[in-house]
Amino acid sequence: MDLDWLKDVVALAEHRSFSRAAEARHVSQPAFSRRIRACEDWVGTPLFARETGGVTLTAAGRLLAPRIESLLRDLDTARRDARNLGARELATVSIAATHALSFTFFPAWIRRHVEFEAMGTLNLLSDSMAACEQMMLAGEVHFLLCHCRPEAPGRFAPDRFESIRVGDDVLVPLCAPGSDGRPAWPLPGVSGPPARRARLLAYSRASGLGRIVSGHPATREAAAQLETGFTSHLAATLLTMAREGHGVAWLPRTLAADDIAQGRLVRAGAEPFDIPIEIRLFRAPTCRNSAADALWSGLTAA
């Protein structure tokens, strides 16, 4: 028995024509006919009736064809599951991380917790929070690294997704300085250039930081008095826009630290406008392997 014979039977049952079925199977018609005959010899009875108007299934063919089709599906599923299981057993860890943390926090953090020589491949997928959440929910990654604040809405139910706090950060309202060193785009209540309404550089809906900023009472009240001049899901893009003097943005301190230290960015508002946030690592409930389990055990023990 050749697996191709079974696929030929399914093709002929579907097309009811030797020429069309042979074309679909990418073989010549004589070769296709020989394989169908060989399958019938193996079964021990004809499966198809050759008639002038085409090909029809015999009673045996009507019984066997759907079972063969089901068997082929099961074999394909079993092969795919076995391949996926083998891949999961390899020492590969996939981590989805938001762009801001991929650039700043992740490199130093992962070096502290992973012995690269002892594991296989470390796969980092950097994207927006919405895209990272989708990867996590689809079981495509082992972990998700992101900024979090308990009051901000999330998609990971605590009873299903384990998480641990791996760091801290703070969102700070920042803008470029004016010629006098004061903020060029001060928030309401902060001294700055007169007669100019502050322009907000805002996060788009795909951004997890945007959810945090919009959900915080102090920033929500301040933002209502600002004119939104630009939106992006990338904190790095907002940082560049703020540095170039286009408005004020709430930026992670981990991302903006160098610009603050060099004086390229200054506070646009006092500390009550700051938003303390956590950096958390979420664990997928179904995507597991030995390497991911070992990393999680080390982090929870630490």
Q: Closest Cα to residue 236, out of 102, 98, 100, 96?
A: 100
The C-alpha atoms of residue 81 and residue 75 are separated, in whole angstroms, by: 10
* Tens digits of residue pLDDT in 151-179: 776 778 888 899 999 999 999 999 999 98
Measure the CA angle with vertex 3, ends 2 and 5; round to 5°: 70
| Residue 94, amino acid | S
- CB contact set of 291 (below 8 Å; sequence gap of 6+): 90, 91, 92, 93, 119, 120
- CB contact set of 299 (below 8 Å; sequence gap of 6+): 113, 164, 166, 281
Which is it for the CA torsion 234, 235, 239, 242, positive or negative? positive
- CB contact set of 96 (below 8 Å; sequence gap of 6+): 125, 126, 127, 131, 132, 135, 136, 140, 141, 143, 144, 145
Which is it for the CA torsion 99, 92, 85, 89, positive or negative? negative
Q: Which domains does the chain have, with CATH numbers?
A: 3-89 (1.10.10.10), 96-165+279-301 (3.40.190.10), 168-278 (3.40.190.10)
Give pLDDT, residue 194: 47
Phi-psi region of 279 (alpha: psi -120 to 50; beta: other; left: phi over 0): beta
Contact 212, 275 (CB under 8 A): yes
Crossing angle between the packed helical segments 208-215 and 129-137, to the nearest 10 degrees:
110
Q: Between residues 53 and 7, which one has the greater pLDDT?
A: 7
* Tens digits of residue pLDDT in 221-278: 777 778 888 999 899 999 999 999 999 999 999 999 999 999 999 999 888 899 999 9
Q: Closest Cα to residue 294, out of 99, 57, 119, 109?
A: 119
pLDDT greater than 80 at residue 117? no
Pairing type for strands 122-127 and 93-98 reads parallel
* Tens digits of residue pLDDT in 23-51: 888 889 999 899 999 999 998 999 999 88
Give pLDDT, residue 144: 95
* Tens digits of residue pLDDT in 182-207: 999 988 766 555 446 688 999 988 88
* Tens digits of residue pLDDT in 130-158: 899 999 988 889 999 999 987 776 778 88
